[in-house]
Structure 1
Amino acid sequence: MLLYCFPHAGGADSPYRSWGDRLAPVEVRVLGRGARFPGRTPTAPDSVTALAEACADHLAGERRPYLFLGHSLGALIAFETTRALAARGCRGPEVLFATGHVAPHLPSPGPKLAALPTAEFWAEVRALGGTPPELLGQAALREAAEPGLRAEFRAAETYRYVPGQPLGCRIVALAGTDDDRAPADQCAAWRLHTTGGFALHTVPGGHFFVADNPGPVLERIRQESASPVR
């Protein structure tokens, strides 16, 4: 079994790659940064749907059973990637773990960052959390990263759900108990997007509970990966 992880906007690979030993024999892979958008410029994503098509190109030949976990922006990309794979008649994930994001048809709470002036932009990024401290602490790194990071926020902020067939895979939504950007009642609406079964779980923590409190997340992944392939 494989687990493909889709990080949040500006997210690093490291929190997910460190899960490998804890989830064995599940093999963890990260569709993030350069790996997330094969054949595309990783610093200049166009839209959630364009990113999803690039991911579907990468996964179209996968024959082994796999799971998706997408956090925040990554949840939208994982969802749209699953739709893109289904449209192509390709194998999709057995389970989609949607963490830290409201259901795709709902507007995302929270401030809009993509168009803010530089000083305000980085103040909001810092307040949101989830960005590596070494990036926040070095002006040269911030300058280099800013165009790509703005583009990822823009992709999230301009996303508009297009009605379509619900997914056939199971969806497991995980919400942080203190996450104002993805409250549990709005994460519960993910159930409308699947015919394959649904579960909602809350995890102690804020928006980045997947990094700050991964234990309950990993336990849910273990339980789902132990189920027979559907």
Structure 2
Amino acid sequence: MLLYCFPHAGGAESLYRAWAEELAPDAEVRVLGRGSRPSTVAPAAPVTALASALADRLRAENGPFAFLGHSLGALIAFETARELRSKGAPGPHTLIASGHVAPHLPSPGPELADLPTVKFWEEVRLLGGTPPELMESEALREVAEPGLRAEFRAAEGYRYSPGLPLDCPVLALAGTEDDRAPAELMAPWRMHTTGDFELQLVPGGHFFIAENTACVLDSVRSRLTAAVR
């Protein structure tokens, strides 16, 4: 099965590509990050615009596939699944939503997109998940800042549009110490599918996906195996 991974804002695609060997032969990992963003979609485009463009790319997919998204990536994965349905194309066999509250709920925590530079990077550091080499280099931060701000602006500007729930199973992964996406705000993901739903807690903060990778991969592998069955 193909596993399409949707990274978080500022997320290093290498984190997800490193899963390929761990998940083989159960899944072939493909990352839909900044490097694969359709050229017709601007960096600051709304989540729904990016999802629509990604759905156009994926609608010809023949084999079974699953989606996994973390933080902003969870929203993009969810909206891409909705867009595939609206275009009359097959959707994912399962959706794994990690580290983001249910789509219809507001996200807790401060908004980062329009903060002054110093404060912006302070908050990014506290949030975690950004490559150390970026955080330690002023020159790299200066280059990365516009694109990273655009991704936060897309996430913070997202507004859920009511519609029919998905019909695929949904697995929600929540960090036990994640105040950005606590378990009680991830449980309502169950409202967005008529299929099976499961909420799993993973030890760690907002970026438990990197802090506790082995636990995350065990959950992903189990879910993909169930989807194939």
User: For structure 1, which runs of at least 5 residues remain unmatched after alignment?
Assistant: none
The question of whether the paired residues in 2 share the 8 Å contact of 1:45 and 1:51 is answered with no
1:160 and 2:159 correspond: yes
Q: In the alignment, what sits opposite 2:31?
A: 30
Further displaced range: 53-62 or 188-197? 53-62
**What is the identity percentage for the equivalent residue pairs of Structure 1 and Structure 2?**
65
* Secondary structure of 2:226 counterpart: coil
Which residue in 2 is equivalent to 1:187? 186
TM-score by length of 1: 0.96
One-letter identity of the residue aligned with 2:12: A
1:139 positional shift: 1.4
Matches within 5 A, 1:161-180: 161-180=160-179
What's the Cα RMSD here? Answer: 1.2
Q: How does 1:7-156 map to 2 (within 5 A)?
A: 7-25=7-25, 26-35=27-36, 37-40=37-40, 44-156=43-155
- Tell me how far apart the structure 2 counterparts of residues 86 and 41 of structure 1 sit (CA, whole Å): 20
Residues in 2 aligned to 1:64 and 1:105: alpha-carbon distance in whole angstroms: 30
Q: Distance in 1 between matches of 2:215 and 2:132?
A: 25
Instruction: State the distance in 2 between where 1:165 and 1:2 align.
Output: 25
Residue 140 to residue 187, structure 1, CA distance change in 2 (3 Å): same
Write the distance in 1 (CA, Å) between the matches of 2:98 and 2:38. Answer: 23
Report the equivalent of 2:199.
200
Q: CA deviation at 1:151?
A: 0.4
Counterpart AA for 1:61: A
Q: Find the aligned partners of 2:23 and 2:40 in 1 and give their Cα distance.
A: 30
| SS of equivalent residue, structure 1 residue 74 | helix
The Cα offsets for residues 154-201 of structure 1, whole Å up to 9 and x where unpaired, read as: 000010000000001111000000000000011000000000110000
SS at match of 1:14: helix
Partner secondary structure for residue 112 of structure 1: coil
Q: Distance in 1 between matches of 2:4 and 2:49?
A: 18
Q: 1:134 to 1:228 in 2, by over 3 A?
A: closer
Shift of 1:41: 5.4
- Provide the secondary structure at the position in 1 that maps to 2:171: strand
